[in-house]
Amino acid sequence: MKILIALTYYSPYVSGLTIYADRIARAWVREGHDVIVLTSQHSPVLPKEELMEGVRVIRAPVLFRISKGSLMPSFWKDAIYLVKWADVINLHLPQFDAAWVAWLGKISKKFTILTYHCDLEMPGGFVNQLSNKVILWMNNLAGRFSDRIVAYTEDYAKHSFFLPKFSEKTSIIQPPVELPEVSPDETAAFENNVNSESKHPVIGMACRFAADKGVEILLEALPKIIQVFPDCCVFFAGPYQDVLGEKAYYLRLKPILQDFIDSGHWKFLGSLSPREMAKFYQTIDLLTMPSLNRTDAFGLVQIEAMMNGKPVVASNLPGIRIPVQRHGMGDIVPVGDSQKLADAIIHQIGLHQQFKEKTAAIKAFYTPSVIAAEYDRIFKAYGIK
């Protein structure tokens, strides 16, 4: 089977959406499918075409950007011949270009399936709000032109402002999650490097430094946590400087962050490889995900932490609350409530719980090959082999 995956950003750009797309692409390649990813050349240092673990990646140069959106004329041109090549088109929303590719799929009678990652809620400002409306309009067109839509959870599908419009064509498939196996010696060396001062307990946060992630809520919660655990430290794994569209947010919080960095209660680890992420989860005592809006729909990092036996404290948002509810590992707190976040983190640390007995079942539930097989069942139901 020939599968075209189209999305605005792809590896090495780091987000839940790009990690999902990378995992499903590689899983399809392992099953023997031919996979091409059409995406943006989001950084000029990236090659316009390369082979990544069997996945052919074609990157369209960015003419200019509006907020986080990219205008890429060659993307639209390349899509024409790639749609003709493909048996299946997989689009990842939200995406400005999705309507064009979905329309090409419809007129070419190519099976088109959307993977819907989240509702788009951009920050204030005329340009951002205009971009938001345009992308939502394009997403709605893509939904109309597509054959099927995949959502992560029933919870998010019910509360989304996009998915209920297309409930008759929506399927629920859990996201693919995997991490490399690392040895105790590797983890010990990593911990010695990042935690040479023996900070404890370690509160993990793994994401891009972005306004929707609720970094300021954790910052507001920290003084209360420090009162109970004076030697605690937050380890932040992910890009934090010059994140696309988030520079102003980082600069606004930088003075507060610097105070916690200077006092030894906050440490930026930067972007970590999958192998380093596996060591990161072994190093932390718990993970927190204090997200603020529906731009987060699940949180793959929650499952990664749980795969390593670590509890999670997450916001009570549709989709985001599902991993804790489903696997019983952690607490759910009200959105934006820093004091309740602090209380839940203190409570979970105090329990000293490890959930090693659950890790094997969780790993099996989210294995990329299992998720790829769920997609394949949909393809076969439509006569595509």
Q: Where are the domains of the chain?
A: 2-176+367-381, 184-365
Q: What pTM value is reported for the model?
A: 0.90
pLDDT of residue 69: 64
pLDDT of residue 124: 60
Percent of the chain surpassing pLDDT 70: 95
- Which carries the bigger pLDDT value, residue 65 or residue 349? 349
Q: Residue 381 pLDDT > 80, yes or no?
A: yes
pLDDT of residue 71: 75
- Which carries the bigger pLDDT value, residue 234 or residue 69? 234
Q: Residue 162 pLDDT > 90, yes or no?
A: yes
Mean pLDDT of 136-158: 95
Secondary structure of the chain in the HEC alphabet?
Answer: CEEEEECCCCCCCCCHHHHHHHHHHHHHHHCCCEEEEEEEECCCCCCCEEEECCEEEEEEECCEEECCEEECHHHHHHHHHHHHHCCEEEEEECCCCHHHHHHHHHHCCCEEEEEECCCCCCCCCHHHHHHHHHHHHHHHHHHHHCCEEEECCHHHHHHCCCHHHHHHHEEECCCCCCCCCCCHHHHHHHHHHHCCCCCCCEEEEECCCCHHHCHHHHHHHHHHHHHHCCCCEEEEECCCCCCCCCHHHHHHHHHHHHHHHHCCCEEEEECCCHHHHHHHHHHCCEEEECCCCCCCCCCHHHHHHHHCCCCEEEECCCCCCHHHHHHCCEEEECCCCHHHHHHHHHHHHHHCCCCHHHHHHHHHHCCHHHHHHHHHHHHHHCCCC
Question: 184-193 pLDDT, tens per residue?
Answer: 999 999 999 9
Question: 288-314 pLDDT, tens per residue?
Answer: 999 999 888 999 999 999 999 999 999
Tell me the pLDDT of the chain averaged across its residues.
93
**What is the fold, at CATH topology level, of the domain defined by 184-365?**
Rossmann fold (3.40.50)
| C-beta separation of 111 from 88 below 8 A | yes
Mean pLDDT of 210-224: 96
Given the candidates 3.40.30.10, 3.20.20.330, 1.25.60.10, 3.40.50.2000, the CATH classification of the domain at 2-176+367-381 is 3.40.50.2000
Do the domains spanning 2-176+367-381 and 184-365 agree at the CATH topology level?
A: yes
Question: 26-44 pLDDT, tens per residue?
Answer: 999 999 999 999 999 988 9
Question: 95-138 pLDDT, tens per residue?
Answer: 889 999 999 999 999 999 999 999 976 556 655 556 667 778 88
pLDDT of residue 353: 73
Q: CA-to-CA distance for 34 and 385, rounded, in angstroms?
A: 12
Q: CA-to-CA distance for 172 and 354, rounded, in angstroms?
A: 29
pLDDT tier, 275 (very low <50, low <70, confident <90, very high otherwise): very high
pLDDT of residue 73: 87
Mean pLDDT of 222-236: 97
